[in-house]
Amino acid sequence: MKRLKIPFEIIVEITGRCRLVCEHCTSQRTPHVPLETVLGILDECASFGVKAIRITGGEPFLHPDIEKILNYAKDKKFMVLLNTAAENMSPSLLKNVVKNVDMLLVSLQGYSPRTNAAYTGSKSPYIDKLKNIFFLRSRLPSVVLATVITHDMTKSFAKFLPLVRKINPEAWTLLRPIDTMTDNIKRMDVAFYRALAVQIMKARQEKVNVFIANPIPMCITGDLRIGKQAFYGANLDDGHVRIVYSAEGYYKPSYFINTNLGNALKAAWAHPALKELDRTDYLPELCHQCPVLDTCRGGCRGMSLRAHGTPFSPDPLFDFASAQKALSKPYLNNPVR
């Protein structure tokens, strides 16, 4: 697959610190990246021609220089994206975010104070988080909600919906947890994701823009038309179109593939490990006949790595019978999103 000359976006982890303790968190809790280092990365991205910068963590609001970083990113004329739990925001920080951020991605792990605290361990008032979300939703061009899927999501999905409708985000993105094959991950099998896809499709028909935003085999329901709406595909992950500057001080392909690509952007983007991750020749034969291979890329390399010890192996959710069924139906290459 042809690589972009310039990455679509650079994700900058400005800190590994966070107040929360989410179940599937991969943050190494590394200290804040010094301000000069962050600004140096932004300079390097600007001179390489990168248009979009995503500031993340850990929790980026814990960085003592977060406001300076957002000001600097905006001054450099980047499209500024920011990932946060939106807790404990001072009036000054709220104002700064409104001034500088183009797209805010807010994690939403509960539909009530109890469920939020149960997943994240948050000690902050849930109502304050919601107030921040509503305030920012009414002032920013784009607010997206992000919920890591839990093993009880097929039951809790409907409970999230009234709140999601009220917030009315640009999108509600569900994230497949990328983790070792724990019992909970094993419970989230093909049948689980099929059941979740049914609920996603129903909500989409009711005008809620919800989908699974990270890689998953798009044939899992046996119908690629559903796959194309309920699942975003793999393009944003696994180092295909964007990479991450890790709070540990080097570029890596994605949040979940920790290969050290060095600390210079141009060399990192040309690193042979990324070209390897673009390969598809090791995927099951059916993938090579698939009309959505370019979007799906056979699923998640991060999960293949955790399940089989190598990213160059089938996604553990790849299901031959579903793929065969999906590919036996006529498919019009007609992207919905």
CB of 325 to ligand SF4, least distance (A): 10
CB of 298 to ligand SF4, least distance (A): 5
Q: Which two tokens stand for residue 60?
A: 């980026």
Residues that bind ligand SF4 (CB under 6 A): 18, 20-22, 25, 27, 57-59, 85, 107, 120, 217-219, 286-287, 290, 292-293, 296, 298-299, 318, 323
Which among 288, 290, 314 is positioned nearest to 301, based on CA atoms? 314
Which among 68, 138, 59 is positioned nearest to 100, based on CA atoms? 68
Q: Which two tokens stand for residue 319?
A: 């299901």
Q: Which is nearer to ligand SF4, 36 or 328 (CB)?
A: 328
Q: Which is nearer to ligand SF4, 228 or 271 (CB)?
A: 228
Amino acid letter at 66?
Answer: I
Q: Which is nearer to ligand SF4, 55 or 323 (CB)?
A: 323
CB of 272 to ligand SF4, least distance (A): 23
d(CA 168, CA 99): 21
Provide CB contacts within 8 A for 181, sequence distance 6+: 306, 307, 316
Q: Which is nearer to ligand SF4, 66 or 323 (CB)?
A: 323
CB of 130 to ligand SF4, least distance (A): 16
d(CA 181, CA 204): 30
Q: Which is nearer to ligand SF4, 32 or 271 (CB)?
A: 32
d(CA 176, CA 185): 9
